[in-house]
């Protein structure tokens, strides 16, 4: 096939596309499509064909509109079918409850008239439809398929599944976290501690709760021996103890759940000081024993004033 341009400028003015298709005479008749293509090319080059295209365009536009309408009707039909299928209105969530509170887990559904809605925890079935399966007396259904658990315990924490029993089961999962107020679990020295002057003291305070509480040490009506008001640690260490470091030390646990928990330790410092007594002049009525015990005798009708000044009542153990 050869493409040639017309020689005269006049022929170019009659057609915007001035190519001419020439086919050799020995081309097989099976290649008639090639001739058709050439004829169509010549036809397109004519101004009259543009008018034909303008006539066809409205019909093409109507056809496109019809196709879109059919597709829209198909989508609408699918939507109507979907509306009749069972579905969840509630969504999976994480809930936090304090011990002792009542747990309520939502499971709002639609189009489940012919389907069973069940609650599960792990492999254990809690409810099936409106029937309670679990023997736990704290568990029941409220307001449809919402699951209620009274008097929440730490062991109630975990995942709970609400399931619609379709061929391909549909389900939502709620996660429950149980918050536990703080509690002082143990103090290594107990509530009272006696130490000798110059010794070292280490007191540990352990607490429980969820979340894990923060433990701080403070001193009643005074600052800590290190000069701070609080120590953010579960261990309180005091070096070179003297009588100025004695007093009441308070361990406090707080996790912002409920009220903080606290416990105190009374630190007694034993010093090697003698015991001195200043006794009034009424000696004939008073007996002083070596143990430090005073005994007085007053007869009926007598009046007396006793003034005792005690410098130290604790004696160091030898």
Per-residue pLDDT averaged across 284-304, rounded? 60
Same domain, 204 and 120: no
Residue 279 in any domain: the answer is yes
What is the pLDDT, as a whole number, of residue 52?
55
Higher pLDDT, 251 or 50: 251
Range of the domain at 290: 275-318
- Band of residue 318 on the pLDDT scale cut at 50, 70, 90: very low
Compute the distance between CA of residue 105 and CA of residue 148 in angstroms, rounded to an integer: 6
CATH number at residue 232: 2.60.40.10
Q: SS3 sequence, the chain?
A: CEEECCCCHHHHHHCCCCCEEECCCCCCHHHHHHHHHHHHHHHHCCHHHHHHHHHHHHHHHHHHHHHHHHHHHHHHHHHHHHHCCCEECCCCCEEEEECCCCEEECCCEECCCCCCEEEEECCEEEEECCEECCCCCCEEEECCCEEEECCCCHHHCEEEEEEECCCCCEEEEEEEEEEEEEEEEEECCCCEEEEECCCCEEEEEEEEEECCCEEEEEECCECCCCCCCCECCCEEEECCCCHHHCEEEEEEEECCCCCCEEEEEEEEEECCCCCCCCCCCCHHHEEECCCCCEEECCCCCCCCCCCCCCCCCCCCCC
CA quadruple 41, 47, 48, 52: dihedral sign: positive
CA angle 225, 206, 213 (to 5 degrees): 95
In percent, how much of the chain has pLDDT > 70? 59
Q: Of 140, 162, 180, which closes a domain? A: 180
Cα dihedral 174, 178, 179, 185, rounded to 10, equals -160
CA quadruple 10, 15, 16, 22: dihedral sign: negative
Predicted confidence (pLDDT) per residue in 197-231, tens digit: 999 999 999 999 999 999 999 999 999 998 999 99
Residue 109 in any domain: the answer is yes
Asked if residue 244 has pLDDT above 50, the reply is yes
Strand order in the sheet with 146-149: 103-105, 146-149, 139-142
- Band of residue 27 on the pLDDT scale cut at 50, 70, 90: very low
Higher pLDDT, 81 or 237: 237
Asked if residue 182 has pLDDT above 70, the reply is yes
In angstroms and rounded to an integer, the radius of gyration of the C-alpha atoms of the chain is: 49
Asked if residue 123 has pLDDT above 90, the reply is yes
Residue 94 in any domain: the answer is yes
Same domain, 176 and 91: yes
Same domain, 266 and 298: no
Residue 76 in any domain: the answer is no
Residue 92 in any domain: the answer is yes
Q: How many domains does the chain have?
A: 4
> At 44, phi and psi to the nearest 5?
-60, -30
What is the Cα 73 distance to its own chain's centre?
44
Same domain, 226 and 292: no
- Band of residue 84 on the pLDDT scale cut at 50, 70, 90: confident
What is the pLDDT, as a whole number, of residue 80?
40
Same domain, 254 and 294: no
Asked if residue 72 has pLDDT above 50, the reply is no
Compute the distance between CA of residue 318 and CA of residue 316 in angstroms, rounded to an integer: 6
Same domain, 205 and 262: yes
């Amino acid at each position: 096939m050869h493409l040639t341009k017309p020689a005269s400028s006049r022929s170019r003015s009659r057609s915007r596309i001035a190519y001419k298709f020439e086919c050799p005479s020995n081309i097989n008749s099976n290649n008639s499509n090639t001739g058709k293509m050439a004829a169509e090319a010549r036809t397109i080059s004519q101004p009259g064909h543009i008018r034909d295209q303008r006539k066809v365009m409205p019909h093409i536009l109507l056809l496109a509109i019809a196709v879109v309408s059919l597709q829209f009707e198909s989508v609408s039909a699918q939507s109507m079918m979907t509306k009749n299928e069972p579905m969840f209105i509630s969504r999976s969530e994480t809930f936090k409850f304090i011990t002792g509170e009542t747990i309520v887990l939502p499971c709002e559904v639609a189009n489940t008239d012919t389907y069973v809605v069940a609650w599960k925890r792990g492999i254990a079935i809690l409810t099936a439809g409106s029937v309670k399966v679990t023997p736990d007396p704290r568990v029941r259904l409220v307001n449809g398929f919402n699951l209620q658990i009274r008097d929440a315990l730490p062991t109630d924490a975990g995942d709970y599944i609400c399931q619609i029993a379709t061929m391909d089961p549909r389900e939502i999962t709620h996660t429950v976290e149980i918050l536990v107020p703080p509690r002082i679990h143990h103090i290594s020295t107990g509530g009272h501690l006696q130490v000798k002057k110059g010794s070292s003291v280490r007191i540990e305070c352990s607490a429980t709760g969820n979340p894990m509480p923060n433990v701080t040490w403070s001193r009643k009506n005074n600052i800590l021996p290190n000069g701070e008001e609080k120590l953010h640690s579960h261990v309180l260490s005091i070096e070179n103890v003297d009588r100025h470091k004695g007093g009441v030390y308070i361990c406090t646990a707080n996790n912002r759940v409920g009220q903080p928990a606290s416990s105190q330790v009374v630190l007694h410092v034993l010093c090697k000081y003698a015991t001195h007594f200043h006794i009034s002049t009424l000696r004939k009525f008073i007996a002083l024993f070596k143990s430090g015990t005073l005994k007085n005798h007053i007869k009926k009708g007598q009046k007396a004033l006793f003034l005792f000044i005690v410098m130290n009542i604790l004696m160091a153990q030898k």
